[in-house]
Structure 1
Amino acid sequence: MSKKTGEAGAHQGLKTLLSRLMRPDDANIVGNVHGGIVLKMMEEAGCIIGTRHCNTQSGDRCLAALVRVEKTEFLTPIFIGEVAHVTAEITYTSKHSLEVQVKFMAENILTGAKKLANKAALWYVPCSLQNVDKIMEVPAIKYASAEQEEEGRKRYEAQKMERQETKARTEEVMPPPPNPEQHTVGFSQSSLIHLVGPTDCTLHNYVHGGVTMKLMDEVAGIVAARHCNTNIVTASVDAINFHRKIKKGSVVTVTGRLTFISNKSMEIEVLVDASSLVEAEKGKYRAVSAFFTFISLDKDNKPLPVPPLKINGEEEQRRFEEGKARYLQSKAKRLANQARQQ
């Protein structure tokens, strides 16, 4: 369900709440809710509030389209039978984009106890329903203070710069060799092929960002499970950049491959390629890319050591070193945040 409330925190605008019970088809075989379900629900809440806000002005009707998800941490596992509460709030607007802060709470329906499972910042742009390539202007919001507006502007400039600097990896994903050795990149590399249908799409007939992220998480989970042969859960996702739109009737190929492994975590690069089913001459293109981090769990949901990754060749070594740099940078930020909180 979704509801509209008056004030959005310090801002004069909309606040959206989505709630629903987590069902068996939302989870893996041991009852952990898939990270892709969490991402999809968060994107839906962001799309609702963004679209509502952008249609409070006169002119063409529009739909908020997801263009970026900042790095997000999965703070605690969610299980079948818990109630998910997803709240979304607009926290910054530029001329043509808006930032939506989303929180995912999980409630024990028997005790009423709630826990914060995830939170993320999502960026949207409003696309005209008459012309999907026309980006509409975003109505401004009112801030509680000049400082709050300035902090939002800094976040906007930072994500804008990162989006411009982040190039889609254009390299072709090579199929794994026949009979690959266990614990190599080729052994766990996995692909999913999906035909984009009407239920996957927005009013523009382009794929919902949440649908794409759910497919990406599914493939990354298969890669992680094949490598560990244990229960696995999503721990975090690096910034997801949507490079190009995917239209209804397209065939998407979602490929995941291990890039880096620490003692208790696995980084998996996930690449989404799209091509038209009826217009093959237009060729295939890279639509979305991101890095997912998974951890291995025992029967009590405690982290397990991860088998080391066997590297073959210069390309795998290069990707491993790049992944290691991301891991160390993320670890340093996490330790710095913990130090500030103490």
Structure 2
Amino acid sequence: MEMFRLPQVVKVSGLWSLVTARIMRPDDANIVGNVHGGTILKMIEEAGCIIGTRHCNSQTGDRCVAALARVERTDFLYPMFIGEVAHVSAEITYTSKRSVEVQVNVVSENILTGSKKMTNKATLWYVPISLQNVDRIIEVPAIEYSRPEQEERGKKRYEAQKLERIETKQRNGEIITPVSLPEPFTVGFSQSSLIHLIGPSDCTLLGFVHGGVTMKLMDEVAGIVAARHCKTNIVTASVDAINFHRKIKKGCVITVSGRMTFTSNKSMEIEVFVDADPLVETENGKYRAVTAFFTYISLDKDNKPLPVPPLKLENEEERKHFEDGKARYLQNKAKRLADKEQKQ
């Protein structure tokens, strides 16, 4: 069971607070059992969003959702492990006219020994976005402070983060430079890669990745290549033999790469490779684990096939891949026609 209890939202001294708890599972962690930082950050943000949204909707008027604007420095004080319970507590500590400050603490609990330790502290800022007009930020209800100095300290934090956000925005504007992209409809324009760390939830009991996990990632990459090429809705039409050359172990980093090799009038062939790179057994080196050819078609709004833009070939290697793809296309077409005749 993932949730030990429903989120508890209470109002203490005029301040909203929230407490949630969740047990850490294998897919929350890396291969040695340490919970991913991203998992913890996601729980922190979810708690902040819940409490911020509840507070901003405590008044009459437009309904809204609290949108994350900024996360202050987040400290990872101690690691969390599979099987431990993460207790996430969030509290609204300051409100300006258009923003909400939420402070979040994460405590891990070993439910076998009962021991607890603080693992994370974070401060997040939210702005309430109107559901009727997403470009409109609504006014935030004020909170009651138990002591005047709480409001003063909150105001100083608000002014400091506001100034830093402005400086960061200006700095980002200065470093943006034009990027030269490959010409549209070329192999380089649509080729794509995905990097994935093989974790426990990806694997069989023997510690090797499930074939279905690998194939799903391969199809995602092939789909990206196809969509980039034709800029329309695309669907998988067929997959040639998928060759699993070598096993992929837990703890490997895999790179799934796809490139367009052939286009007919209404179809696209994408070659997909999966390369595995062991993080621990580095002496074995990187190796090619899986290869396949995926065929996609382009569809219009009524799900009818659309013409595919021709592939622009830029060198001899691409022309060779194209001719090989054309041979596979004609072979598969001939096989389909033969099968159709046999059925008749």
In structure 2, what residue type is equivalent to 1:48? I
Identity of aligned residues (%): 62
Q: Which has the larger radius of gyration?
A: 2
Residue correspondence of structure 1 range 68-107 to structure 2 within 5 A: 68-107=70-109
**Residues 174 and 229 of structure 1: CA distance in aligned 2, closer, same or farther (over 3 Å):** farther
Whether the 8 Å CA contact 2:15–2:145 is kept in 1: the answer is no
**Residues 112 and 96 of structure 1: CA distance in aligned 2, closer, same or farther (over 3 Å):** same
Match of 1:5 in 2: 10
Describe the SS at the equivalent of 1:80. coil
CA distance in 1, matches of 2:177, 2:278: 27
Match of 1:48 in 2: 50
Describe the SS at the equivalent of 2:15. coil
CA distance in 1, matches of 2:157, 2:95: 11
Cα displacement (A) at 1:173: 8.1
Cα displacement (A) at 1:190: 8.2
Question: How many residue pairs get matched?
Answer: 189
Residue correspondence of structure 1 range 294-305 to structure 2 within 5 A: none
Match of 2:30 in 1: 28
Cα displacement (A) at 1:142: 0.9
Whether the 8 Å CA contact 1:13–1:53 is kept in 2: the answer is no
In structure 1, what residue type is equivalent to 2:24? M
Describe the SS at the equivalent of 2:46. helix
Cα displacement (A) at 1:4: 1.5
CA RMSD of aligned residues (A): 3.2
Match of 2:166 in 1: 164
Alignment of 1:62 with 2:67, yes or no, is no
In structure 2, what residue type is equivalent to 1:133? D
Match of 1:39 in 2: 41
Cα displacement (A) at 1:30: 0.6
**Residues 15 and 166 of structure 1: CA distance in aligned 2, closer, same or farther (over 3 Å):** same
Residue correspondence of structure 1 range 260-275 to structure 2 within 5 A: none
CA distance in 2, matches of 1:21, 1:35: 15
In structure 2, what residue type is equivalent to 1:5? V
Cα displacement (A) at 1:148: 1.2
Whether the 8 Å CA contact 1:32–1:77 is kept in 2: the answer is yes
Cα displacement (A) at 1:160: 0.2
In structure 2, what residue type is equivalent to 1:97? S
CA distance in 2, matches of 1:104, 1:143: 23
**Residues 166 and 6 of structure 1: CA distance in aligned 2, closer, same or farther (over 3 Å):** same
Match of 1:306 in 2: none
**Residues 109 and 61 of structure 1: CA distance in aligned 2, closer, same or farther (over 3 Å):** same
- Of 132, 135, 140 in structure 2, the residue corresponding to residue 133 of structure 1 is 135
Where do 4+ consecutive residues of structure 1 move more than 4 Å?
Answer: 171-175, 189-195, 226-230
Whether the 8 Å CA contact 1:98–1:124 is kept in 2: the answer is yes
CA distance in 2, matches of 1:147, 1:174: 53
Describe the SS at the equivalent of 1:6. strand
Residue correspondence of structure 1 range 303-314 to structure 2 within 5 A: none
Cα displacement (A) at 1:72: 1.0
Describe the SS at the equivalent of 1:130. coil
Residue correspondence of structure 1 range 78-227 to structure 2 within 5 A: 78-167=80-169, 168=172, 169-171=175-177
CA distance in 2, matches of 1:227, 1:70: 34
Structure 1 gap segments, 5+ residues each: 176-188, 196-220, 231-277, 279-342
**Residues 173 and 4 of structure 1: CA distance in aligned 2, closer, same or farther (over 3 Å):** farther
Describe the SS at the equivalent of 1:124. strand
Describe the SS at the equivalent of 1:14. strand
Structure-1-length-normalised TM-score: 0.50
Cα displacement (A) at 1:57: 0.6
In structure 2, what residue type is equivalent to 1:87? S
**Residues 173 and 44 of structure 1: CA distance in aligned 2, closer, same or farther (over 3 Å):** farther
CA distance in 2, matches of 1:173, 1:26: 36
Cα displacement (A) at 1:120: 0.4
CA distance in 1, matches of 2:141, 2:64: 12
Cα displacement (A) at 1:100: 0.0
In structure 1, what residue type is equivalent to 2:27? D
1:7-32 deviation per Cα after TM superposition (whole angstroms, max 9, x unaligned): 1xxx4132111111000000001100
Cα displacement (A) at 1:63: 0.3
